[in-house]
Amino acid sequence: MFNKILIANRGEIALRVINACKELGAKTVAVYSEADRHTLPVRFADQAVCIGPPRAADSYLNIPRLISAAEITGADAIHPGYGFLAESASFAEVCEASGITFIGPGAGLIRLMGEKDRARREMAAAGLPVLPGSDGVVRTEEEAKAAAARIGYPVMVKAVAGGGGRGMRVVGSEAELPALLAAAQHEAGQTFGCADVYVEKFIARPRHIEFQVLGDKHGNLTHLGERDCSIQRRHQKLLEESPSPAVSEEVRQEMGQKVVAALRALGYNNAGTIEFLLDDEGNFFFIEMNTRIQVEHPVTEMVTGLDLVKKQILLAAGARLEMLVRPNLKLRGHALECRIVAEDPETFKPSAGRITTFNIPGGTGVRVDTAAHAEAVIPPYYDSLVAKLITQGKDRREAMARMARALEMFVIEGIHTSIPVHRQILADPDFLAGRYDTHFLDRFLRNHIPV
Amino acid sequence: MKRKAAAKGKGKPKGKPAGDSLIPFAQVQALVDLLEERGLEEFEMERAGVRIRIRRRGSLPAAPVFESYLPGAANSGPAPAAESRSAEAQAETAAEMGLLAEDVHVVKSPIVGTFYALPQPDALPFVKLGDAVEVGQVLCIIEAMKLMNEIEADVAGQVVRIYVENAQPVEYGEPLFAIRPGKKK
């Protein structure tokens, strides 16, 4: 095991890692920018090193300063948390070259999963379904028709240079194709100066489903069930749950087996998350893999009873998986997580400032992961996450009832937060029935009177 | 850098009254007076082992809030016994405040690393207390990731304080030297 672990992060995840280290008996080193001098990770770590000015590029993203901090404190491992350098293959490499263990799967796997196209090809080769599409650019009607027929309607014609919904058309049948292809090509040319388009399977109501995995350095790997993260706004997740109301036990088994087989083949180790789109008919398509601990890891912890950050540390130290996770682990009950962010609930503008009142809800089945407190300052330099409110129940209904009452009791004053939006989601009939997809929040926000 | 001693031994619990030997009462009084005099709302100072924050609240300028704690002391746990402040350290604080009032220039560490006062183990230090230095003159070396970074004076003047010991680890922004600016001779 490690003697001393440096946490190359800030806020709630830095505190979360400190918790795990303390429980494992490892000493901790917090690093902080000048903006974070008076924060809880600095206070609760055994040692703290100021690494730079507030700008992340000069502090939390500055590899030489982090390595120097590890060297002067004698840390033998670095936990990167999430964000910042958590998925930087070069940081992992520099750590290894400096004789410091990077707590993660290693530079090679981080680099592979960071190159999205290569990751898709490798995962398809390893047996995971990927979203069917044309083999590159389609130029003529005939090429497009052939590709669409192979993929199956409906399909999406998308600009190669695309983004923001421009140069995109959903095509329901072959009869519609010629006109919509021409329209997409024209719009792409007008908008991006490049008329190249490709064809991809269209999923009308996709859900974002991700599987948590843990692997050791001896070739063993297991999955810990899925999380449903479909409640998102512009790809920012706002609420997550496990298990997903849309995944049956049969599908979980099937997907779990495919995930484990594919990642074992790659020699994946440590914690990771593999993300899929799920369509109405129960088909999964691989999107990408995250080679780090995720923000929403607590929902999996609540239904498995495992401390994932401790497992990460032990796995990085060389522990064998069978010592950490018992075989045939079953998910227990249900868990939800609301990401409370410092944003104006109407405009979603970031709301930095000093927190004046901070009342954390408690009671059975409620967990709050946060580094915030009354009088704490949310600085404008970093992401806007203030707290993660997690509830657990024997079933989804109980977890939701707990979440609703915990949101009522969570009082934050001095800054704007997303709590009012979360309260409304928890009162929405479609959400309560488990009927939602990745477009839910956009529809929901359009249909709701501003809070 | 903040090094925290493990909480052990018979330490003083956090939040003892100001007069309880951590910081002399007169010194606190001086700070309160300074606050009043300059019309400041809040004053905060952190030094090895001690942090002081004095703040005026609303219309009660006569009753400043005073806080002092040893970092590393958990909420309820005992404060570390090691590194408790000696009379000498307190005298230093007073001296430093005197210097601050004189408007000295403090050279701070621009990086995280290990401070070296000498170019080589058997050499003389780059500068000694009382030396006159020029802009661009090397004051010390900070080693980070096996690289030796020379730290230069950015003002001309006299070295009136050296804050760190040879081979001591330093963090970003840590004071290294105090220079009293003076005309170049």
The DSSP code for B74 is: -
Which residue positions in chain B have pLDDT lower than 70? Answer: 1-24, 46-50, 56-102, 183-185
Taking the CA of residue B111 and the nearest CA in chain A, the distance in Å comes to: 7
pLDDT band at A193 (very low <50, low <70, confident <90, very high): confident
The domains located in chain A, with CATH, are 4-103 (3.40.50.20), 141-201 (3.30.1490.20), 207-447 (3.30.470.20)
Q: Which residues of A are catalytic?
A: 292
- Residues A308-326 have a mean pLDDT of 97
Please give the torsion angle defined by the CA atoms of residues A263, A269, A275 and A276, in that order, rounded to the nearest 10 degrees. 20
Q: Are residues B117 and B158 in the same domain?
A: yes
Q: Which residues contact A341 (CB under 8 A, 6 or more apart)?
A: A238, A384, A385, A386, A417, A418
Chain A positions touching chain B (beta carbons under 8 Å):
34, 42-44, 46-53, 59, 64-65, 67-69, 71-73, 98
Q: Are residues B70 and B109 in the same domain?
A: no
Cα–chain center distance at A411: 26
- What is the ipTM metric for this complex? 0.75
Q: Are residues B79 and B109 in the same domain?
A: no
Contact at CB, B112 and A46, closer than 8 angstroms: no
Per-residue pLDDT, B53: 73
pTM for this structure?
Answer: 0.81
Contact at CB, B112 and A65, closer than 8 angstroms: yes
In a domain, B163, yes or no: yes
Per-residue pLDDT, A102: 98
Q: Which residues contact A290 (CB under 8 A, 6 or more apart)?
A: A87, A113, A272, A273, A274, A275
Write down which residue in B51, B86, B121 finishes a domain: B86
**Cβ–Cβ < 8 Å for A91, A21:** no
Domain housing B164: 105-181
In a domain, B141, yes or no: yes
What gap in Å lies between CA B150 and CA B157, rounded to an integer? 18
First to last CA, chain B: 36
Q: Are residues B134 and B168 in the same domain?
A: yes
Name every chain A residue with its beta carbon within 8 A of the beta carbon of B148.
none
**Domains of chain B: total:** 2
Q: Are residues B118 and B176 in the same domain?
A: yes
What gap in Å lies between CA A45 and CA A43, rounded to an integer? 6
Name every chain B residue with its beta carbon within 8 A of the beta carbon of A43.
71
Write down which residue in B59, B86, B113 finishes a domain: B86
Q: Which residue of B has its CA nearest to A47?
A: B3
**Does the pLDDT of residue A336 top 90, yes or no?**
yes
Contact at CB, B171 and A67, closer than 8 angstroms: no
**Does the pLDDT of residue A272 top 90, yes or no?**
yes
> pLDDT per residue over A125-153, tens digit each?
999 999 998 888 999 999 999 999 999 99
Nearest to A64 among B2, B6, B145 (CB): B145
Q: What is chain A's mean pLDDT, rounded?
A: 94
Strand partners, A341: A385
Q: Are residues B82 and B109 in the same domain?
A: no
Taking the CA of residue A372 and the nearest CA in chain B, the distance in Å comes to: 16
Q: Are strands A221-233 and A236-242 parallel, antiparallel or unpaired?
A: antiparallel
Q: Are residues B82 and B119 in the same domain?
A: no
Q: Which residue of B has its CA nearest to A39?
A: B71
Domain of B114: which CATH number? Answer: 2.40.50.100
Window from A201-205, A223-227, A418-422, B161-165 with minimum mean pLDDT: A201-205
In a domain, B126, yes or no: yes
In a domain, B117, yes or no: yes
Q: Are residues B116 and B78 in the same domain?
A: no
**Does the pLDDT of residue A71 top 60, yes or no?**
yes
What gap in Å lies between CA A210 and CA A215, rounded to an integer? 16
What gap in Å lies between CA A60 and CA A104, rounded to an integer? 17
